[in-house]
């Protein structure tokens, strides 16, 4: 593995889950792998979990870590080639990437979708430049279209809490005041399709996810019907992926509060566990009582971000050095 973006990059999921369980038992087992190596974590956007869990994972592996918040203290970066740089951007990504790469062995990048230019987002324009011009192994810490470290942590969490061989897992859209990326639902759909689960997606019309990620997964537009008999409810807001109408890309098409996951929704499930990647807006996405209930997995799910990141960084070290 040289890049980590899609589920295919991690190979066999059962092997990856076994490695996750092994690392959870002894998170320092592979401490020698990172000796005298440096991971650079570059943030173009805010983060709490990814910032902390990926640093912890790197340290589990004996790596040195450098964290760069591009928007705090670095030069403003131009990302488009060919522009006359007479504005407020002092440096071009094409110089910045090889310079940053010269100080490290692995690079993690957080760069959200712009949600304006679908083509730029869905070709992972920024992340691809890091892959092309750094010459180093690059992993997504949520990029324009995918959040694979989150989806891997979600899969680990489902594996730990499932009580049947093939649980029913429902990904549900929920309302949010701001326009959010599709990265989390995209990766969750991609990873659930690769896993041995009965996977159903539910959202209002116009929120259809890109077939690249959702494939031919079952879509049920009636949220209550989708929830029936579910073992896991995974809530997330996303803006329109612009699949059915390209002009809708990145737009908020619905703020329908009847989609907020509350006790009435959970009552039709098979006593389902509730999941969300966090950060979550209470009483928009999920009611207080559901997120605080004993069936809520949001905290162990976030804790598993350390485990998914440790497995991924371990693989990158083993496969490239």
How big is the CA angle at 18 (ends 14 and 19), to the nearest 5 degrees?
120
Does 181 participate in binding ligand AN0 (rule CB under 6 A)?
yes
**Residue 66 three-state SS:** strand
| β-sheet bridge partners, residue 5 | none
Total binding residues toward ligand CP, as defined by CB under 6 A: 10
Task: Tell me which residue has its CB nearest to ligand CP.
Answer: 50
Residue 75's closest CA among 89, 94, 93? 89
Interface positions, 135-164, toward ligand CP (CB under 6 A): 142, 150
CB-neighbour burial class of residue 103 (10 A; exposed 0-12, middle 13-18, buried 19+): exposed
Pairing type for strands 168-173 and 198-202 reads: parallel
Query: Measured from the CB of residue 181, what is the shortest distance to ligand AN0 in angstroms?
Result: 4
Return the residue matching tokens 């598993």: 304
- Which range, of 111-119, 122-130, 206-214, 273-281, touches ligand CP by CB under 6 A? 273-281
- Within 13 A of 55's CA, how many CA atoms are on the CB side? 12
Does 184 participate in binding ligand AN0 (rule CB under 6 A)?
yes
Query: Measured from the CB of residue 211, what is the shortest distance to ligand CP in angstroms?
Result: 24
- Which range, of 5-13, 179-187, 192-200, 299-307, touches ligand AN0 by CB under 6 A? 179-187
The residue (of 152 and 207) whose beta carbon lies closer to ligand CP is 152
Interface positions, 55-74, toward ligand AN0 (CB under 6 A): none
CB-neighbour burial class of residue 154 (10 A; exposed 0-12, middle 13-18, buried 19+): buried
Alpha carbon distance 290, 53 (integer Å): 25
Q: Which does 211 bind (CB under 5 to 8 A by kind): ligand CP, ligand AN0, none?
A: none
Return the residue matching tokens 């599709």: 182
Q: Which does 48 bind (CB under 5 to 8 A by kind): ligand CP, ligand AN0, none?
A: ligand CP
The residue (of 37 and 49) whose beta carbon lies closer to ligand CP is 49
| β-sheet bridge partners, residue 129 | none
- The interface mask with ligand CP, positions 17-56, x = CB under 6 A, is ------------------------------xxxxx-----
Alpha carbon distance 219, 216 (integer Å): 9
Total binding residues toward ligand AN0, as defined by CB under 6 A: 7
Does 186 participate in binding ligand CP (rule CB under 6 A)?
no
Using CB under 6 A as the criterion, which residues of the chain lie in contact with ligand CP when the complex forms? 47-51, 142, 150, 277-279
Using CB under 6 A as the criterion, which residues of the chain lie in contact with ligand AN0 when the complex forms? 142, 180-181, 183-184, 277, 279
């Amino acid at each position: 593995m040289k890049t980590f973006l899609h589920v295919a990059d991690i190979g066999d999921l059962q092997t990856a889950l076994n490695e996750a369980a092994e690392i959870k038992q002894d998170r320092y087992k592979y401490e020698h792998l990172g000796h005298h190596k440096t991971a650079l974590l570059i943030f173009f956007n805010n983060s709490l979990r990814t910032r902390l869990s990926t640093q912890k994972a790197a340290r589990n592996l004996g790596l040195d870590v450098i964290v760069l918040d591009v928007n705090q203290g670095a030069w403003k970066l131009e990302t488009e080639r060919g522009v006359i740089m007479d504005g407020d951007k002092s440096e071009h990504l094409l110089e910045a990437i090889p310079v940053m790469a010269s100080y490290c062995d692995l690079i993690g990048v957080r760069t959200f979708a712009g949600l304006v230019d679908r083509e730029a987002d869905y070709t992972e324009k920024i992340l691809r430049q890091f892959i092309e011009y750094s010459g180093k192994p690059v992993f997504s810490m949520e990029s324009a279209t995918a959040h694979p470290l989150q989806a891997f942590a979600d899969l680990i969490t489902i594996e730990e809490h499932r009580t049947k061989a093939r649980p029913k897992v429902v990904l549900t859209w929920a309302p949010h005041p701001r326009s959010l990326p599709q990265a989390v639902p995209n990766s969750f759909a991609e990873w659930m399709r690769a896993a041995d689960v009965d996977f159903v997606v539910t959202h209002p019309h116009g929120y259809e996810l890109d077939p690249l990620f959702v494939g031919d997964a079952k879509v049920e537009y009636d949220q209550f019907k989708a929830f029936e008999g579910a073992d896991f409810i995974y809530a997330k807001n996303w803006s329109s992926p612009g699949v059915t109408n390209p002009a809708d890309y990145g737009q908020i098409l619905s703020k329908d509060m009847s989609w907020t996951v509350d006790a009435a929704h959970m009552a039709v499930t098979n006593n389902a566990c509730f999941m969300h990647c966090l950060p979550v807006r209470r009483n928009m996405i999920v009611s207080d009582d559901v997120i605080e209930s004993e069936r809520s997995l949001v905290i162990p799910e976030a804790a598993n971000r350390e485990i998914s990141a440790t497995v991924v960084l371990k693989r990158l070290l083993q496969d490239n050095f």
